[in-house]
Amino acid sequence: MAKLFLPNLLLLYGFVAVGIPLSRLEIGSMPLYFIDIIAALVVFMGRNHIARIYRRHRRLSTIILVFIFTLLPTTFSELLRMSPLEPIYLLCRTLLHIIAVWSLSGFLRNEQYLKKFFTGLACGVLFTATIASMNSLPITGPWVRAHIFTIDWLKPQRGDYEVDAEILMKYDKGEAERGDSLLGKSNITGTVLITMLPFLIGAVRNIRLKATAKLIFNAAIIISFFAMLFTYSRAAYLAIAILLFGYLLFERQAFSKRFLPLIILAGVIIGAVGVQSTVFKFEFIANKFDLSNEKYTYTNQARVYAYTVPFQVIYNNPSYLFRGAGRADKKLREKNSEATILELYNAEMHSVFAASIFYRGFLSMLAIFYLYYRLTKTSYDAIKRSKRENNPAQWMAIASVISLMSLLPGWGTDHYIVTKMSMHMHMFLIVALVFTSLEHIKLNSENTGEKTKNKPVKEYKRILHKASGRR
């Protein structure tokens, strides 16, 4: 039963993680997210992998452990100031997805499980990219906003979407919009798609897939590229440029075979329809790139303040070296507007650097930045080592590095990786995929080493056998 259940669970994990991570049930006042149920099952079934994977990647695992400890002062501070339910609930969700890193990467050592999980990811990416693209286009956007975004269990809604679908359809202007999806706003959609794309491209080029699965992977890659353009997000466009640079750097064949045709196709379609057509919203993104445009002065300045205001905050209140205001700040604001610093500095959180300090403190920021650095460096070292050894798992290390590189624009200019639980979970999903790539490279190296070690013994036995035959 477990042999049948586990592969399908991993398939579901991949789909829900990047397709519908906000889907949940309400149990009283507490939401129960489907992704948490799946992660809990994976952790339970893979409990034997946790210690093994920890030991095999001790340095990276220790950094993750240090990061966990940096969360505790903030949680303790929240417990003293408010009802314990929400901070404990948020801490438990965070710990669950961190522990899932070891369990999931342990399972994905198995090639069949890896194939299932990547197929789930491809389905989730295809679903998200399709929803984002449809929402962006004037023809299909009103229907998506009225009939998909109003499904409360798929995506918790506030404000505009809390009205009847027919009314939404009637009053929707039917203009080109940014590519929001069931993940959240277009910035979040772009970050998830761009960081998953290297793994899908690597998988479709290096894993044996059935015809249907290959079709899903290719469709996910093509539609994702358009969906990222339709986010009309500066961070997403910069991430695309970094992604292309990464492939030029590490895998030029993938660039020429995968991305060059996509760029030409996108150019032909957009050129035929017209860049200034009302079908698209390229004027919006052009205005945002124009730093002299006064309309976006506020949002541009916020990106600068994100790297200056945190030091001012620490200077005024040194306790922010060790703890932050906490992620459960909304409850505090409802009772007392001065209870959290986030009330005053909400606009200056536009980076992981600032959001980490405001929410969890300076030490937590150092831990998460060091984790990012070590993941990138270890993956890059794995690329160099696997090239020397001609390791067949080299593509996974390349995918890891390019995925982490593509995360940089969102990391540097927005706060959602820290402030949104779904994105926090996604970051640790990337960590799990990096661990998986390192595992496969290690396993291939160990197997190659074992074969090389046994080769002289086999050769010696062959010579002895030949000699005895002559006698």
Query: Which residue, chain included where needed, has tokens 């890891």?
Result: 400
* Tokens, residue 69: 């400890």
> Nearest Cα to 432, choosing from 164, 109, 134, 127?
109
d(CA 53, CA 40): 17
Q: Is the pTM of this model over 0.85?
A: yes
d(CA 377, CA 177): 38
Beta bridge partners of 33: 24
How high is the pLDDT of residue 173? Answer: 63
> Nearest Cα to 64, choosing from 115, 34, 10, 105?
105
d(CA 202, CA 121): 13
- Indicate the DSSP class of residue 33: E
Kindly provide the b/e burial profile for residues 58-91, where b requires at least 16 CB atoms within 10 angstroms of the residue's own CB.
eebbebbebbbebbebbbebbbebbeeebbeebb
The length of the chain, given as a count of residues: 471
How high is the pLDDT of residue 118? Answer: 97
**Helix (H, G, I), strand (E, B), or coil: what is residue 354?**
helix
How high is the pLDDT of residue 291? Answer: 64
Q: Are 368 and 422 in contact (CB under 8 A)?
A: no
Question: Which residues of the chain, if any, have pLDDT below 70?
Answer: 1-2, 156-174, 288-298, 327-348, 448-471
| 395 Cβ contact list (under 8 Å, min separation 6) | 202, 205, 206, 251
d(CA 240, CA 263): 11
- CA 357 remoteness from chain centre: 21
**Burial class, 13, CB count within 10 angstroms (exposed 0-12 / middle 13-18 / buried 19+):** buried
Q: Where are the domains of the chain?
A: 2-439
How high is the pLDDT of residue 116? Answer: 95
